Amino acid sequence: MAKPKIEEYARVIRSQNFDEIMMLADKLAGKRVKMVNATAVGGGVAEILTRVVPLYNQLGLKVKWEVIKGTGAFFAVTKNFHNALHGSKVEIGEKDFAVFNEATEANLAEMDFTGDDYVIVHDPQPAGLIAAKEKSQAKWAWRCHIDTAHPQADVWNFLRQLIVKYDASIFSTPWFARDLPHPQYFIYPAIDPLSEKNRNLSRHEIDTVLNKYQIDRNRPLVVQVSRFDRLKDPLGVIETYRLVKKQVDCQLVLAGGAAADDPEGVQVLNEVTEAAKGDPDIHILALPPFADLEVNALQRAATVVLQKSLREGFGLTVTEALWKGKPVVASAVGGITLQVIHNFTGLLVHSVEGAAYQIRYLIGNPQVAKKLGEYGREHVREKFLITRKLRNYLLLFIALDHPGQDIIKL
Ligand code: UDP
């Protein structure tokens, strides 16, 4: 699918918001930006970068996206870091920090930051690249996509000594802010309404996907789309479905793929497949990367979209579902609570039983489900579309050029 032109967004958002983007981009024309993360495919960060990088370039900036390299051992360590930052108890030792440092050194030897005006480093995996700052002219910001409200101390302290060297940090919400000596900015993640994953689909396109996976269009369908990761609670999703099913006939789709930097995925998928055995109404779909049309169709086909995460940085799958006007039942964790305002843009839950109760309620009350979906869509239009994010980053670049100034005259 061809990448949309920036002008096409003018018909999705309010015109004053669009004009502001163009004005800010004009101030930054020609500036060189480097975005660095750990995976080109899979998970929310790659998803966002795939969409925003071409748009910045259309706006006249020169943005490059580079992906660091790492061994299996490195990604096992950074997966543990990820879980520890989210607050899970994880065993980490000096050996793990050494593996992390070695990968950092190897990447530093291959990467070049000369000529960059801004370097944005996403998440912990590439955080050590800050060692290149001394030799670069760029302003450096660390972009954290993780819920860092209650990180495991040893992992956070290790990362912190790297992060303090950045000019600024960016978190997804103020709740995740840390004690840091530099400015902290807050930028909500966002989705692209014109992407293959979020564009409108015809009935025929949706049905084609449902037929492919032998899902019955005529019975209620509960859908969770997420990587096969314990923090997405896939076993809790199956338990929830089983409780719903005791009283209401329904089907479950649990669809996900594994991110290239997530070695746990296969193991979790096996556990989930085992738990679902013997019930033809549970569809466990191991999707390949770039199955955007499938994800779109499954979300649109859902009677209720579930997001039963135990922890969540933000939860783009929730944004995607809300944008599609779907009633969402989601755990009240992390960034989900910014998106799902209880009883207004969706329903928040705290347990398997609570999730099952609310799903049954929505299946039985389609008018309520429809209203929640409509409000959810408008909430996303105002706050969580990619255009708002573009605007925030343009402002961030300008702010990085004016350290310590509360008011910047443009
Ligand atoms: N996703 C996908 N295919 C899958 C699983 C997830 O395309 O099999 C997408 C999903 O639609 C969303 C992103 O990956 O855009 C996941 O982002 P989220 O913030 O929900 O979770 P993360 O994986 O970053 O923890």
For the CA of 42, the closest atom of ligand 1 is 14
Bridge-based pairing state of the strands 32-37 and 139-143: unpaired
Q: Distance from the CA of 318 to the center of ligand 1, in angstroms?
A: 10
Per-residue model confidence (pLDDT) at position 320: 97
Average confidence (pLDDT) over 205-210: 98
Q: How many residues does the chain have?
A: 410
- In whole angstroms, give the CA distance from residue 386 to residue 131: 31
Alpha helices in 191-290 (DSSP H): 203-212, 234-245, 265-276
- What is the Cα Rg of the chain in Å? 21
- How far away, in angstroms, is 257 Cα from ligand 1 center? 8
Residue 260 pLDDT > 80, yes or no?
no
- For residue 228, report the distance from its CA to the centre of ligand 1, in Å: 10
Q: Is the CB of 314 under 6 A from ligand 1?
A: yes
How far is the CA of 239 from the CAs of 243, 258, 328, 351, 352, in angstroms? Answer: 6, 22, 17, 10, 7
* pLDDT above 70 (res 105): yes
What CA–CA distance (Å, rounded) separates 14 from 5? 17
pLDDT at 402 over 70: yes
Whether the per-residue pLDDT at 345 is higher than 70: the answer is: yes
Residue 240 near residue 269, CB atoms below 8 Å:
no
Is the pLDDT confidence value at 109 over 80? yes
For residue 33, the SS3 value is: strand
**pLDDT tens profile 161-199:** 999 999 999 998 898 999 999 999 999 989 999 999 999
Structure tokens at 32: 């060189």
pTM equals 0.85
pLDDT in tens, 119-164: 999 999 999 999 999 999 999 999 999 989 999 999 999 999 999 9
Supply the mean pLDDT for the chain.
Answer: 95
287 lines ligand 1 (CB under 6 A): yes
Amino acid 409: pLDDT: 87
- The edge-to-edge listing of strands for the beta sheet with 139-143 is 62-67, 32-37, 118-122, 139-143, 168-171, 184-186
How is 127-176 classified by DSSP, letter by letter? Answer: GGGGGGGGG--SEEEEE--S--SS--HHHHHHHHHHHTTSSEEEESSGGG
Phi, psi of 253 (to 5 degrees): -115, 125
Ligand 1 binding pocket includes 225 (Cβ within 6 Å): yes
Q: Whose CA is nearest to atom 17 of ligand 1?
A: 44
The residue contributing the CA closest to ligand 1 atom 14 is 43
